[in-house]
């Protein structure tokens, strides 16, 4: 292994990568030598992010896609592999939030969150799994949340998606570990991004996107005879 660039030549696909956590992960993996496929719904923001990565010397393919749409997932994986090569690392980071009492929520709210935060992970993992099985190796890293472990008022739909994601991650890990494929989840607390409002909180004390990226990097460089199944990430100080 190249200790300076331990992911040299590997292909990583990161969803929700035009900003925040996803962009930080893409930047970190590219710095470790990976060729990165970045995906997001907004094509203009995605291209700006990709250009930023290219200026740092990264090999990048920017593929706009809405992962809540099953019809776009096959295209996303196919284009990534055409441009970069077989996907060896999948980081399921794309996610949306909805925060309101259940009695005020609609079925459309439920569908939007669950389709993005949970169904997309199932479909993307299913899309890359055959290739990983054939190569007898690979990584799937799912960005979950402490909301997948803790309930709170107004969080019913979001918490349901993240609790489900942790259950899916554990089962995927058991299904795929016989083929040398390692499946992991990262559960961060609140991260200083524009994902949700942080009114009245000191964002300097919150987790930063780079903190989550660092956890992904640790998972991907674990020795081959073991894997880190779950990382719970909290700030050292409460914001």
Q: Report yes or no on 87 lying in a domain.
A: yes
pLDDT at 158 (0 to 100): 97
Give the structural domain span for 193. 11-233
pLDDT at 88 (0 to 100): 98
Q: Report yes or no on 182 lying in a domain.
A: yes
Q: Report yes or no on 41 lying in a domain.
A: yes
User: How far is residue 236's CA from residue 109's CA, in Å, rounded to a whole number?
Assistant: 33
Domain count, the chain: 1
Q: 22, 91, 119, 158: which is the annotated catalytic residue?
A: 158
Helix, strand or coil, per DSSP, at residue 122: helix
Q: Report yes or no on 239 lying in a domain.
A: no
Q: What is the pTM of this model?
A: 0.95
Q: Report yes or no on 2 lying in a domain.
A: no
Contact 120, 165 (CB under 8 A): no
Query: 44: burial class by Cβ within 10 Å (0-12, 13-18, 19+)?
Result: exposed
pLDDT at 197 (0 to 100): 61
Q: pLDDT tens, position by position, for the chain (239 residues)?
A: 556 799 999 999 999 999 999 999 999 999 999 999 999 999 999 999 999 999 999 999 999 999 999 999 999 999 999 999 999 999 999 999 999 999 999 999 999 999 999 999 999 999 999 999 999 999 999 999 999 999 999 999 999 999 999 999 999 999 999 999 999 999 999 999 877 666 677 888 899 999 999 999 999 999 999 999 999 999 998 87
Residue 222 maps to which CATH number? 3.40.50.720
- Neighbouring-strand partners of residue 11: 35
pLDDT at 97 (0 to 100): 94
- Our answer to whether residue 8 is catalytic in this structure is no
Q: Report yes or no on 3 lying in a domain.
A: no
Query: 217: burial class by Cβ within 10 Å (0-12, 13-18, 19+)?
Result: middle
User: Could you tell me the end-to-end alpha-carbon distance of the chain, in angstroms, rounded to an integer?
Assistant: 39
Residue 59: Cβ within 10 Å count: 16
Q: How many helices (H) and strands (E) does the chain have?
A: 7, 7
Residues 6+ apart with CB under 8 A from 61: 35, 36, 37, 38, 50, 79, 80, 83, 84
Q: Report yes or no on 191 lying in a domain.
A: yes
Q: Report yes or no on 35 lying in a domain.
A: yes
DSSP-assigned letter for residue 33:
T
Contact 110, 157 (CB under 8 A): yes
């Amino acid at each position: 292994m190249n200790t300076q660039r331990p992911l040299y030549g590997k292909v990583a696909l990161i969803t929700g990568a035009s900003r925040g956590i996803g962009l930080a992960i893409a930047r970190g993996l590219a710095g470790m030598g990976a060729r990165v496929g970045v995906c997001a719904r907004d094509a203009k923001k995605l291209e700006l992010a990709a250009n930023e990565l290219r200026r740092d010397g990264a090999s990048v393919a920017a593929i706009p896609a809405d992962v809540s749409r099953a019809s776009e997932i096959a295209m996303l994986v196919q284009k990534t592999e055409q441009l970069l090569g077989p996907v060896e690392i999948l980081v399921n980071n794309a996610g949306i939030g909805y925060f309101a009492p259940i009695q005020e929520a609609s079925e459309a709210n439920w569908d939007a969150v669950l389709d993005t935060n949970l169904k997309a992970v199932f479909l993307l993992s299913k899309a890359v799994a055959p290739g990983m099985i054939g190569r007898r190796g690979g990584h799937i890293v799912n960005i979950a949340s402490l909301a997948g472990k803790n309930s709170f008022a107004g969080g019913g739909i979001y918490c349901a998606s993240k609790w489900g994601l942790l259950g899916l991650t554990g089962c995927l890990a058991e299904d795929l570990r016989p083929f040398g494929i390692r499946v992991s989840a990262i559960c961060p607390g609140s991260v200083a991004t524009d994902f949700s409002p942080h009114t009245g909180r000191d964002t300097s004390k919150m987790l930063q996107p780079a903190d989550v990226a660092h956890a992904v990097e640790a998972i991907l460089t674990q020795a081959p005879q073991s894997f880190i199944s779950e990382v719970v990430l909290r700030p050292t100080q409460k914001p």
